[in-house]
Structure 1
Amino acid sequence: MVKVIGAGLPRTGTTSTKAALEKLGFDPCYHMYEVFTHPDHVDRWLPAVEGKTLDWDRVLAGYRATLDWPASYFWREQAEAYPEAKVLLTVRDPERWFVSFRMLTSRNGDLEELDLTKLPEQAAAVVGAMRGMLPVLDMMGRSLFGSDWRIGVDEVDEQTAIEAFNRHVSTVKESLPAERLLVFDVREGWGPLCEFLGVEPPADEPFPRLNDTQAMQENFERLMSGGELASPFFGK
């Protein structure tokens, strides 16, 4: 049963927060990484593109927390499906978020150029899953940024993107009672997160600080050379 619902956009510290939640016992935590390590999960999300209601007990079967797209896009639906769950809105400086998010989404355009038959087995599976998720990502991007979205934020100017970011944050904050919501910046560390969730912080252990951009690049290089996918892969 889901206990923590992530409502933050990608690149708001979601990978670091995923590691933190799992360390606190809210594991496993659903993250975009799960789709790429379980390509069969793509089919769980595709009905949303047609406007169909998702079966959350099926989509999130076995998970105790959610973060990052695609899950965080549906924060409102999950909040209704799991009324006892608390909601975590990860945030960061909007200008730094825009730079990081643009770097992430600009990679999507390269996916169609890859020949899966020439890739190592796991790389082909991951790229295939990424391609499969493009309709879902497109739907979410258009909803957030408007019609200028084209499978990437490169087509959206910085002002529009930052306005969308701030609008999203405001909508989440206005939609939930204060006692159910934590607006969280990973720089705050264990304190506010543990207090919100009613758990003790790990003794003598620093809050996870994961460099997602570096990890993503290293994973792509590892996959393309026939190596294994390592976590973290996507997020922050």
Structure 2
Amino acid sequence: MKVLVVGFSKTGTKTMNSALRILGYSIYDYEDNFYYLRNDWIKILTKGGTKEDFYRMYKNVDASMDIPVVIFWEEILEAFPDCKLIFMRRKDEEDWIKSWEKQAKSVADNYLMKLLSCFSPTAYSIMQYSHHVGRIAFGARPHRWYEAYQGISPTVAKKRYRDHNTSVLTRAPKDQVIEFTLSEGWDPLCKFLGKPIPEVEFPHRNKGASLLDDYLKENPVFLQMKKEMKIILTLFVGLLSIAGYFYFK
């Protein structure tokens, strides 16, 4: 692990994901942590983990971000003491909670996500995983995975966000952390990471809560869910057709 993004969810993590990929880093974001490390994370969230666990999980990954990683930034830093930290925050917590609630609503209102939850084993697995993550991150009640933590207490959510920011600002090693604003672009980020400035514009992802559309089109985990749904629906329709044939015959 070379870089840990310690800005909380909805502070520009998807933009940072794209920026770090352009700079050549391999990334574990929320969906990657679920897909490859969900059993490890469920163990950590329910039974506990060690520095050795975090080292084993991330020794072959360049960078990671989003929940639950961001909540355990100090434990991961202990496993990777030379890791550089990138911290982002929104202009205030009211701006942050509005962005969070908008993202949650965009997911909960999507009918394809509801279908996936019924006909994809991977989607069912992420529901179980998100129960644990939501409980630790926001004190959230169990929920259907496509609800994306909708219905969490805004008072609790803002406190978790506020406490996280305070923790990073007061406890992170000053020579290993940058407080970064996305509008600053490549220059300060590349200087901090020791990377040349790319010959492409700095990316901007998930504007207006567009993340879901992007994920459904291109993310490997979501493409896997769609593939599973198509297979199961095809089998389901086939079985209904066969049953109908013999019934009416």
2:5 pairs with 1:19 = no
Partner Cα separation in structure 1 for residue 109 and residue 133 of structure 2? 12
Classify the secondary structure of the residue corresponding to 1:182.
strand
2:102 pairs with 1:103 = yes
Higher relative contact order (CA 8 A, sep 6+): 1
**Equivalent residue letter for 2:73:** W
Contact conserved, 2:4 with 2:73, CA < 8 A, in 1?
Answer: yes
Contact conserved, 2:55 with 2:76, CA < 8 A, in 1?
Answer: no
Per-residue CA deviations over 1:100-134 (Å, capped at 9, x if unaligned) read 222344657999x9576963xxxx14412321312
Normalised by the length of structure 2, the TM-score is 0.72
Partner Cα separation in structure 1 for residue 62 and residue 190 of structure 2? 16
Contact conserved, 1:48 with 1:136, CA < 8 A, in 2?
Answer: no
Q: Against the structure 1 CA distance between its residues 195 and 219, is the aligned structure 2 distance closer, same or farther, given a 3 Å change threshold?
A: closer
Question: Which residue in 1 is equivalent to 2:61?
Answer: 63
Classify the secondary structure of the residue corresponding to 1:9.
coil
Aligned residues: CA RMSD:
3.2
Q: Flag structure 1 segments of 5+ consecutive residues without an equivalent.
A: 229-236
Question: Which residue in 2 is equivalent to 1:231?
Answer: none
Question: Which residue in 2 is equivalent to 1:5?
Answer: 4
2:152 pairs with 1:155 = yes
Aligned counterpart in structure 2 of residue 166 of structure 1, from 134, 138, 162: 162
Question: Which residue in 2 is equivalent to 1:81?
Answer: 79
Q: Against the structure 1 CA distance between its residues 109 and 77, is the aligned structure 2 distance closer, same or farther, given a 3 Å change threshold?
A: farther
Q: Which has the higher helix share?
A: 2
The alpha carbon displacement at 1:198 in A equals 1.7
Matches within 5 A, 1:181-196: 181-196=177-192
Question: Which residue in 2 is equivalent to 1:207?
Answer: 202
Contact conserved, 2:88 with 2:180, CA < 8 A, in 1?
Answer: yes
Aligned counterpart in structure 2 of residue 198 of structure 1, from 182, 191, 194: 194
**Equivalent residue letter for 1:47:** K
The alpha carbon displacement at 1:14 in A equals 0.6
The alpha carbon displacement at 1:182 in A equals 0.9
**Equivalent residue letter for 1:43:** N
Contact conserved, 1:46 with 1:135, CA < 8 A, in 2?
Answer: no
Contact conserved, 2:23 with 2:198, CA < 8 A, in 1?
Answer: yes
Per-residue CA deviations over 1:180-201 (Å, capped at 9, x if unaligned) read 1111221221122111112221
The alpha carbon displacement at 1:171 in A equals 1.1
Q: Using the aligned pairs only, state the percent identity.
A: 24
Contact conserved, 1:45 with 1:59, CA < 8 A, in 2?
Answer: no
Rg larger in structure: 2
Per-residue CA deviations over 1:27-80 (Å, capped at 9, x if unaligned) read 2111113145x3x53112111222411511332242111111121111010111
Q: Against the structure 1 CA distance between its residues 118 and 69, is the aligned structure 2 distance closer, same or farther, given a 3 Å change threshold?
A: closer
